[in-house]
Structures are given as C-alpha cells and as structure tokens.
C-alpha cells in the first residue's frame, strides 16, 4: 500500500468531486496538515480567485469526470498550469493516486511546483514536488507532481501503465516537444488498459485542431483570456545587429515610455548576460535623472534564487515622487508561454530563438539561432497585454513577418536525432515504430539513422531487437553514446573516471570566462588542461574540485562554476547508483600506471566512435564518413592539431565547430569499432587511406568489443 493519501477524499469519502472542490477553498484548516492556513495562503487565494480559469472550475471538473481525455486551451497567464492540477487533487478525482503535470522545461517545472506548494500552503517536496533529470524533489506523500515531459517518458519505462498516476496533464502541448509528442502516442494507447486514468492536454491558444484530430471525441474547453490590446511596431528597415537594436530599444522605452516592465527575448545565456551588463552600464551612464532599471536574466541554467527575482516588484524611484523604476526581464523562449510574469507592458522581439536542428544525411544535431514562427511572434507580443494595454516592438520589418516567418514552429520530432527516443520505445516493447501513433511521424531517414546508431552501438541487433546491452543502456538518462561508454568502461578498468567525465558532460559548462577578465580566466584554466584533450581536462577539474573538498571559494578563485560542479557531483552519484543496480563495476586503473590514460581514451572511443574527425593534409578536419569540414571550437584546450579527434558536440554558428574534443589513435577506432570502420562502405577520402594502412599493418584480428552484448 502506498503511504500517499488524498485527504480531500479520505476526509469526505461520500462527497462528490464538485462538492469537494467547493469545500476545499472554504476550509479554515489546511487539509494536509490540519493546521490553520498562513496569511500568505489567503493572500494568494484572493489572487487565484481572479484568474480567468477560476470561474470555469466547475465546468472543467464536470468535463473531466465525463471524459477520459479533455483538451484545454487558454491564454498564457489564465491559470492553467497552477490551478488545474490543484483542482484535480482537491476534487479527489484521482483518489489516492498522483496528479502528474508535465512541462517541456526544467525551469518551468521547478518554478511552478514552488508556486503551487505556496498556494497550497505545504512544503515543497512533500505533497507538492517536482522531478527533472538528475533532480527529484518528491516524497512518498507527493500527490501533485510537476515533471519534465522527458522524465514522465522515462518513468513509463519502469511503470508502463503509469499506475501511480490517476491523472496526467500534458501541459504546453502546443510546444510539441519530442517527449510530449511521444507521450501523446503512448497515452493514447494506454487509455484502454487504464480506464480510470484521466488525461488533460493543455495548450496556449493556438491551432487546437491537431489535438482534436488526434484525440478523437475529446471535448475542447476554451478559457477566454483576459488580455488587453497590444500595439505592434515593426522596424522600417531590417536590423543588421539584433542585439544592438534590442539594447537601444530598451533604453528608448525606459527613457520615453510610461511606466511598465519590459520583456526582451534573446536566445541564450551568454547573450542575455551580455545584454544585462550593457544595459545596466548604459543606464548608469545616463545619471540620476533617469529612473532605476533592474535587468533580470532568465534562462534555464540560471541558479534558482536568481530565477525567482523575476517575480520581485520593480525598483523604487530614486527620490520620493521621482520617476518610477522598472524591471527589464531578458529571457529565452521560457517567457513565451511557460512562465508568466505579471506587470510586463513592453515586449521586444528580435525574432530569433535557439532551435534544435537535425540533418539526418550528415547525422548532425545542433542548436541553431533561427527565426521564430509567426505563432511564436504572436505569443511573444501577447505577453505585453497581461495587465493593461501594451506595446510590442518587433525588430524586423512587417514584410519579413509576413514573408519570411513560417506560420508555425515545426514539431521537435521533425528536427531531432531520435536515438534516445527509439531506445526508450524499444524498451517499452514498441517494436513496430512505423505504425506507432505519432501526431506527426518523423522522417523515415531520421528513423533509419536512429536504428543505425543503436545498432552500431550494440543496443539493437541486426533485426532491430533490443539486446541485453540495449536494455542496460536504456536505464540511464543519457544519450546512448554515453550510456554505452559508461557500461563498457568497467572492462577497461576506468568506469570511475568515465563516470566523472560523463557527469561533467551532463552539466552546464564549468569554465567561467568573464569578458573583463578573460586573460586571468584562461590562466586559471591552463592549470587544468590535459594535453590529450578536453574530456581529460574535465576529469582534471573534477578531481581537483574533490581534492579541494568541494570548496566554493577555490572554485571562485579558479574561474570555475561552483554550481556546475555541485551538480556534476550529484549527477555522478545518481549514475553510480544506476551502475550498482545493474551490477556494473566501478573501478579505476592505478593513477600513474602507463595504461591509466589510454584506458580512459579507449573507453571514450567506445562511445564516440561515430563522432570522429580526421585532420586532412590541407590542415582542416573532416568528419569521418560524413566528410563535413569542421573546426576545433575556440574553447578547446588542445594546443596542437591531433590527426584523429573524438568530439562530444557539433556546434553550428558561422562555421561548423566540434566542441569537447580529445585526441585518439586510429588503431583504437579500428580495434574497438571494426563494424563501423569497415572500409567496404567507407567514402573515398584521406582518412580511408590511412585506415587501410592500419588494417594492413594489423596482423591479428581483435575481438569486436563494441558489438558484443554483456
């Protein structure tokens, strides 16, 4: 028996969901703790009652009772994410089972869980919690859980019918992330075997026809938003530099427009931090006659306490009666629909966001700054009209809006490498991927590439069936290359070191390089550099951090991101737990032994043998087999150009870069992955000729480690 109990049900078992819903907000004592509610609870309750969704609670409960799947579309900020999950708990529709609400973004899952814990006056992590990759803040008591869509997909592998849940809310469905799209198909299939399971699909007010066509017969509830008109301004001419134009626009608004907060959309951490600094400096240079402006960044890797500051009130005026200060939130797409910030009156939309792109032909997935869609632009503009009429400044021409922007963003499934997802689906026993009910089926070539990758890694056999190795790999919340490497590293007596490297690869970049002290930062970094390459440098950093007893001051002095390292440590522990569960040894070669580094490098090759570049005679690198010209990323610590490198990441900017690169020997590649380095299907190139010589030299054949299962 689970310890979880829904007090709304146990305290009034004979009641109806609607009655429970009404009495929940009339109670004087906290239903969970039996204690009087805090003042804050009542404050927030008053605000909740003004949300557009509040009046529709009865209708929603009725509908969820009658139908297994309900679609709900409502303007951002109408209260969907914070109110609907609570409502299902309070009405007791799910009995003692959990309500799970998915979010495409980690930040949103954390932020909203924290807010809802406050709204329900409980401690975060107890009745209300969240689960994101490598972080689980839930307990046995948890009845309302926010989680990333990727985590729910992962949970379904251990619990294929999601028995712990009485209701699943797929939130932000319009975002059409890869994991949400797969969940659509899985849940649809699950409905028959779980007649008691309720599914609510929530989205912003976009084209909902797709959802209606997919969940045939599901009713659609529309929540009319309380939005104010937003005037839209375009630039008369295209902007050459959107960052410059954005900064200029912020200053203009701040100095010329009525009070009201500003929301500026940029594409990533670096750009956002730069813009914050530059705007702050420019405002400071204008002197004390200008009202204070507080720049607040918002992006996914931002530390939690800083994330929360976006909800702080704007700064006070410098002198009593002086001009009122304002907030300028500079955010990634997170602020488009996931997180609502009240008080925004001005939106600046440069028209770009970082989007995943995948080219199956050359097997490259990368994040690329790309133009947004018209639907996205509409959502962004809408953020200006939450509390009163607002203005949206689009930093592109009206003609460009009409002609250049696509009407909708392409679903992620159409622009992703599907390796991980196919492995998970195989683990779920879904063998016939061609007939899986995808809302938008991925391109056959993409699917082929995923199967090919998993076959080369040894996770699938030649018939496409999951091998025992594939079973083990699917247990790790990692890319298949990394899980393969981790499992096999024990055979090279270096799984402890590979664990550390994998953990470091799974967290935000640990090196800090502030614009105004790049030289000092580079000097600090040079102490950790390993001559063979960046993977070993990461290992050096991790070891040094542990030797210094996780000291934050030492991190600060050495230009290392303390939070990244704390996170790496936690990721490492969790991965180690999975390894123990799977009975994979955690071992090391004695440091100083001449095989210490070669062993680690060989293990890296076992994961990354398909991500290799060869140095051509002209001095440029070509990716192996796909023959793409690539360059070592400027952040690489390699001070020479090795003939063969493995890389962890492909970065597309003005050039093709490979990032996190390490020198390896061609002999290892041939020895460890002969099925991939089989020259009979190798394009004609310099690398092939080098490999031919190696094959000729090697007299004895070595066992095909990469392809055998354990």
Tell whether residue 74 is a contact of ligand ADP (CB under 6 A): yes
User: Minimum distance between the CB of residue 112 and Mg ion, rounded to whole angstroms?
Assistant: 7
User: Minimum distance between the CB of residue 51 and ligand ADP, rounded to whole angstroms?
Assistant: 6
Contact 504, 626 (CB under 8 A): no
Residue 168 CA to residue 201 CA, distance in Å, equals 8
Nearer to Mg ion, 109 or 494 (CB): 109
Tell whether residue 81 is a contact of Mg ion (CB under 5 A): yes
Which segment (69-77, 160-168, 463-471, 637-645) binds ligand ADP by CB under 6 A?
Answer: 69-77
CA-wise closest residue to 392 among 509, 276, 233: 233
Measured CA distances, 614 to 317, 657, 666, 677 (Å)? 60, 13, 9, 13
CB-facing half-sphere around the CA of 235: CA atoms within 13 A: 18
Nearer to Mg ion, 80 or 254 (CB): 80
Q: Quick one: tokens of 448?
A: 């082929």
Tell whether residue 379 is a contact of ligand ADP (CB under 6 A): no
Nearer to ligand ADP, 53 or 630 (CB): 53
Tell whether residue 78 is a contact of Mg ion (CB under 5 A): no
CB nearest Mg ion: which residue?
81
Nearer to ligand ADP, 53 or 672 (CB): 53
Distance between terminal CA atoms of the chain?
36
Which segment (79-87, 151-159, 452-460, 689-697) binds Mg ion by CB under 5 A?
Answer: 79-87
User: Minimum distance between the CB of residue 408 and Mg ion, rounded to whole angstroms?
Assistant: 19
Tell whether residue 596 is a contact of ligand ADP (CB under 6 A): no
Q: Which residues pair with 36 in a beta bridge?
A: 29
Contact 109, 148 (CB under 8 A): yes
Q: Which residues pair with 144 in a beta bridge?
A: 99, 128
Helix (H, G, I), strand (E, B) or coil at 707: helix
Tell whether residue 86 is a contact of Mg ion (CB under 5 A): no
Partner whose binding site includes residue 41, from ligand ADP, Mg ion, none (CB under 5 to 8 Å by kind): none
Partner whose binding site includes residue 342, from ligand ADP, Mg ion, none (CB under 5 to 8 Å by kind): ligand ADP
Nearer to ligand ADP, 45 or 284 (CB): 45
User: Minimum distance between the CB of residue 150 and Mg ion, rounded to whole angstroms?
Assistant: 18
Per-residue interface string for the shown chain with ligand ADP, residues 336-375, x marking contact by CB under 6 A: ----x-x---------------------------------
Which segment (29-37, 74-82, 207-215, 633-641) binds Mg ion by CB under 5 A?
Answer: 74-82
Residue 30 CA to residue 208 CA, distance in Å, equals 37
Q: Quick one: tokens of 641?
A: 């150009």
Q: Number of residues in contact with Mg ion, rule: CB under 5 A? A: 2
Which segment (31-39, 74-82, 371-379, 609-617) binds ligand ADP by CB under 6 A?
Answer: 74-82
User: Minimum distance between the CB of residue 108 and Mg ion, rounded to whole angstroms?
Assistant: 7
CA-wise closest residue to 327 among 349, 340, 343: 343
CA-wise closest residue to 567 among 581, 584, 580, 550: 550
CA-wise closest residue to 219 among 198, 196, 240: 198
Q: Which residues of 574-613 are buried (b: 16+ CB within 10 A; e: fewer)?
A: bbbebbeeeebebebbeeeeeebbbbbbbbbbbbbbbbbb
Helix, strand and coil in the chain, % to nearest 5: 45, 20, 40
Tell whether residue 78 is a contact of ligand ADP (CB under 6 A): yes
Tell whether residue 495 is a contact of Mg ion (CB under 5 A): no
DSSP letter at 29 equals: B
Nearer to ligand ADP, 111 or 561 (CB): 111
Q: Quick one: tokens of 216?
A: 């045939």
Per-residue interface string for the shown chain with ligand ADP, residues 80-119, x marking contact by CB under 6 A: xxxx---------------------------x---x----
Which segment (76-84, 479-487, 597-605, 681-689) binds ligand ADP by CB under 6 A?
Answer: 76-84
| Non-local CB neighbours of 405 within 8 Å, separated by 6+ positions | 351, 371, 372, 373, 374, 377
Partner whose binding site includes residue 391, from Mg ion, ligand ADP, none (CB under 5 to 8 Å by kind): none
User: Minimum distance between the CB of residue 256 and Mg ion, rounded to whole angstroms?
Assistant: 32
Residue 249 CA to residue 261 CA, distance in Å, equals 13
Residue 127 CA to residue 139 CA, distance in Å, equals 8
Give the helix/strand (H/E) hosting 630: strand 629-632
Which segment (78-86, 95-103, 250-258, 465-473) binds ligand ADP by CB under 6 A?
Answer: 78-86
User: Minimum distance between the CB of residue 171 and Mg ion, rounded to whole angstroms?
Assistant: 6
Contact residues: Mg ion, CB under 5 A: 80-81
Contact residues: ligand ADP, CB under 6 A: 51, 74, 76-83, 111, 115, 311, 340, 342
């Amino acid at each position: 028996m689970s310890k979880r109990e829904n007090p709304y049900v146990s305290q009034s078992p004979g009641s109806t969901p609607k009655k429970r819903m009404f009495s929940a907000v009339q109670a004087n004592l906290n239903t969970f703790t039996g204690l009087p509610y805090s003042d804050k609870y009542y404050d927030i309750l008053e605000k909740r009652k003004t949300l557009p969704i509040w009046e529709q609670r009865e209708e929603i409960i009725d509908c969820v009772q009658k139908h297994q799947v309900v679609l709900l579309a409502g303007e951002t900020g109408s209260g969907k994410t914070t109110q609907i999950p609570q409502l299902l708990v309070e009405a007791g529709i799910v009995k003692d089972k959990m309500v799970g609400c998915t979010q495409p973004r980690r930040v949103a899952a954390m932020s909203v869980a924290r807010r809802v814990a406050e709204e329900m006056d409980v401690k975060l992590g107890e009745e209300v919690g969240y689960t994101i990759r490598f972080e689980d803040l839930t307990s046995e008591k948890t009845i309302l859980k926010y989680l990333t869509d990727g985590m729910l997909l992962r949970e379904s592998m251990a619990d294929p019918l999601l028995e712990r849940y009485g209701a699943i809310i797929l939130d932000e469905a319009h975002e059409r992330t890869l994991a949400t799209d797969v969940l659509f198909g899985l849940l649809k299939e699950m409905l028959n075997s779980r007649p008691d399971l309720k599914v609510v699909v929530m989205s912003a007010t976009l084209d909902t026809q797709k959802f209606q066509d997919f969940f045939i017969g599901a009713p659609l509830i529309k929540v009319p938003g309380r939005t104010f008109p937003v005037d839209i301004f375009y630039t008369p001419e295209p902007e050459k530099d959107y960052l410059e134009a954005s900064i200029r626009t912020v200053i203009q608004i701040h100095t010329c427009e009525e009070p009201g907060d500003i929301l500026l959309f940029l594409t990533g951490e670096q750009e956002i931090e730069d813009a914050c600094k530059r705007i702050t400096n420019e405002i400071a240079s204008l002197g004390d006659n200008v009202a204070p402006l507080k720049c607040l960044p918002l992006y996914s890797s931002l530390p939690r306490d800083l994330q929360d500051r976006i909800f702080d009130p704007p700064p006070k005026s410098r002198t009593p009666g002086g001009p009122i200060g304002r907030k300028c939130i500079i955010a990634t797409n997170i602020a488009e629909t996931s997180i609502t910030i009240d008080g925004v009156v001005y939106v600046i939309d440069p028209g770009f966001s970082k989007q995943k792109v995948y080219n199956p032909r050359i097997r490259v997935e990368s994040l690329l700054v790309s133009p947004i869609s018209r639907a996205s632009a509409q959502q962004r503009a809408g953020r200006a009209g939450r509390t009163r009429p607002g203005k949206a400044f689009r930093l592109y021409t009206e003609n460009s809006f009409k002609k250049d922007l696509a009407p909708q963003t392409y679903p992620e499934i159409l622009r992703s490498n599907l390796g991980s997802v196919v492995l998970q689906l195989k683990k779920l026993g879904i063998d016939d991927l061609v007939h899986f009910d995808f809302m938008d089926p991925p391109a056959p070539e993409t699917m082929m590439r995923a199967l090919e990758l998993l076959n080369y890694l040894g996770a699938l056999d030649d018939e496409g069936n999951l091998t025992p190795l594939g079973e083990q790999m699917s247990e790790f919340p990692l890319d298949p290359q990394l899980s393969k490497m981790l499992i096999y590293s024990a055979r090279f007596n270096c799984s402890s070191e590979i664990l550390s490297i994998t953990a470091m690869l799974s967290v935000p970049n640990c090196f800090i390089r502030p614009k105004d002290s790049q030289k000092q930062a580079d000097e600090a970094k040079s102490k950790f550099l390993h001559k063979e390459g960046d993977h070993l440098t990461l290992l050096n950093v991790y070891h040094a951090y542990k030797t210094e007893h996780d000291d934050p001051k030492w991190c600060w002095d050495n230009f290392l991101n303390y939070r990244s390292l704390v996170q790496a440590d936690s990721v490492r522990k969790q991965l180690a737990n999975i390894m123990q569960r799977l009975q994979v040894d955690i071992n090391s070669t004695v440091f100083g032994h001449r095989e210490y580094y070669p062993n680690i490098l060989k293990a890296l090759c076992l994961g990354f043998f398909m991500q290799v570049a060869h140095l051509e005679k002209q001095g440029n690198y070509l990716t192996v087999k796909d023959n793409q010209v690539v360059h070592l990323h400027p952040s690489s610590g390699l001070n020479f150009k090795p003939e063969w490198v493995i890389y962890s990441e492909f970065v597309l900017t003005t050039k093709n870069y490979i990032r996190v690169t390490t020198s390896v020997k061609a002999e290892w590649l041939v020895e460890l992955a002969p099925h991939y380095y089989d020259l009979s299907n190798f394009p004609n190139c310099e690398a092939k000729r080098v490999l031919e010589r190696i094959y000729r030299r090697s007299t004895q054949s070595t066992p095909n480690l990469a392809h055998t299962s354990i």
